[in-house]
């Protein structure tokens, strides 16, 4: 397997990088300056037969076209929005991702964000650290999460895991998806706007596609309203950030918990001073155990491909 040339697009996980270096011939894209990366790809185009990307840098059309011997793209993520699937399909390039192993972590974080926003956990932490409790007395009253109606945009693996957790808090669950899911027992709404109008906490958990980009725009935000909370643990591109910032500043939205952003790692600075917003640096799957599980899944898919065995998690 050492003859399989693998392009790692981004420094995403130290264990994964070490194992790729041990098992394959590894090329690190970020070691080349951005303005020389196409030259780097062309110079190694005959050796690179696999690409390992993630939610930051994947395999776009330009990268794929620069690699005529590319056979497989194995992404260190469940999302596929950084992989040009159509180009891969045209070329007969196999694609794998890392589903299931990160579901529980992402679902945990979604609930954690909702509680953090409603109970103002981050704000009250700063209140203690700054001496406010000692000098100004008790912290302000907040809102509870238990019993809040929760709407979920996208009821796939992660959406269902979020629903299960929210149910444990006594939260009524409803959802919007491309189609109604048989046998789930949750109320289905035919649009994201209708869902937002019916819930107090709206969680975005769907895949990012052309159809779902900016699915959370002004109309959905206004339907959620000044008492509503938006949680996004999916992809930043689902939310029209300009409209979100405006709604939060104007008081048309009650709060937001965000793990993902449109132009990561850039985050709208207008959000930094808002106490009703919790911001995280895309850490939904960022636990040691899950990161290693994801890495092992990437490695196993690459080894299966090299040995001409069935892929573990094929997308294409």
Within this chain, do residues 165 and 92 fall inside the same structural domain, yes or no?
no
E runs forming strands in the chain = 5-8, 25-28, 48-53, 72-75, 94-96, 150-153, 173-176, 187-188, 201-204, 229-232, 255-258, 277-279
| 16 located within any domain | yes
Within this chain, do residues 56 and 107 fall inside the same structural domain, yes or no?
no
| 312 located within any domain | no
| 315 located within any domain | no
Within this chain, do residues 115 and 182 fall inside the same structural domain, yes or no?
yes
| 67 located within any domain | yes
Burial of 311 (C-beta count, 10 Å sphere; 0-12/13-18/19+): middle
Within this chain, do residues 133 and 211 fall inside the same structural domain, yes or no?
yes
Strand order through the sheet with 277-279: 187-188, 173-176, 150-153, 201-204, 229-232, 255-258, 277-279
Within this chain, do residues 67 and 141 fall inside the same structural domain, yes or no?
no
What is the reported pLDDT for 3?
85
| 267 located within any domain | yes
| 85 located within any domain | yes
| 148 located within any domain | yes
pTM of the model: 0.94
Within this chain, do residues 112 and 91 fall inside the same structural domain, yes or no?
no
Catalytic residues: 235, 264, 282
Within this chain, do residues 56 and 132 fall inside the same structural domain, yes or no?
no
Is residue 276 within 8 A of residue 255, CB to CB? The reply is yes
Domain count, the chain: 2
| 314 located within any domain | no
Each of the 316 residues of the chain gets a pLDDT tens digit; together they read: 668 999 999 999 999 999 999 999 999 999 999 999 999 999 999 999 999 999 999 999 999 999 999 999 999 999 999 999 999 999 999 999 999 999 999 999 999 999 999 999 999 999 999 999 999 999 999 999 999 999 999 999 999 999 999 999 999 999 999 999 999 999 999 999 999 999 999 999 999 999 999 999 999 999 999 999 999 999 999 999 999 999 999 999 999 999 999 999 999 999 999 999 999 999 999 999 999 999 999 999 999 999 999 999 999 9
Within this chain, do residues 166 and 274 fall inside the same structural domain, yes or no?
yes
Give the separation between CA 73 and CA 66, rounded to whole angstroms. Answer: 14
Half-sphere exposure of 258 (CA within 13 A, CB side): 28
Tokens 């699915």 belong to which residue? 215
What is the residue range of 302's domain? 5-99+288-306
Within this chain, do residues 9 and 36 fall inside the same structural domain, yes or no?
yes
Within this chain, do residues 130 and 268 fall inside the same structural domain, yes or no?
yes
Within this chain, do residues 114 and 178 fall inside the same structural domain, yes or no?
yes
Within this chain, do residues 225 and 293 fall inside the same structural domain, yes or no?
no
Give the separation between CA 30 and CA 27, rounded to whole angstroms. Answer: 9
- CATH assignment at residue 24: 3.40.50.720
């Amino acid at each position: 397997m050492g003859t399989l040339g693998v392009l790692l697009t981004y420094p995403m996980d130290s264990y994964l990088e070490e194992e790729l270096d041990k098992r394959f011939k590894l090329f690190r894209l970020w070691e080349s300056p951005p303005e020389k990366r196409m030259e780097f790809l062309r110079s190694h185009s005959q050796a690179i037969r696999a690409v390992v990307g993630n939610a930051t840098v994947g395999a776009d059309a330009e990268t794929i076209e620069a690699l005529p011997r590319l056979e497989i793209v194995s992404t260190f993520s469940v999302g596929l929005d950084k992989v040009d699937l159509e180009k891969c399909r045209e070329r007969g390039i196999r694609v794998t991702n890392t589903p299931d192993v990160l579901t529980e972590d992402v679902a945990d974080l979604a609930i954690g964000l909702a509680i953090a926003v409603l109970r103002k956990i981050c704000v009250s932490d700063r209140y203690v650290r700054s001496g406010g409790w000692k000098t100004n007395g008790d912290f302000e009253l907040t809102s509870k999460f238990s019993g809040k109606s929760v709407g979920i945009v996208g009821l796939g693996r992660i959406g269902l895991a979020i629903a299960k957790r929210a149910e444990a808090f006594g939260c009524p669950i409803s959802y919007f998806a491309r189609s109604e899911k048989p046998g789930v027992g949750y109320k289905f709404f035919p649009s994201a706007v209708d869902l937002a109008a019916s819930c107090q906490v709206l969680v975005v958990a769907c895949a990012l596609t052309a159809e779902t980009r900016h699915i959370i725009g002004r109309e959905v935000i206004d339907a959620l309203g000044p008492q509503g909370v938006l949680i996004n643990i999916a992809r930043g591109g689902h939310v029209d950030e300009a409209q979100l910032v405006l709604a939060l500043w104007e008081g048309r939205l009650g709060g937001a918990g965000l793990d993902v952003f449109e132009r990561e790692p850039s985050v709208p600075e207008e959000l930094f001073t808002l106490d009703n917003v919790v911001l995280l640096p895309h850490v939904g799957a960022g636990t040691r155990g899950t990161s290693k599980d994801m890495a092992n899944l990437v490695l196993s898919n690459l080894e299966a491909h090299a040995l001409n065995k069935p892929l573990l998690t094929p997308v294409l």
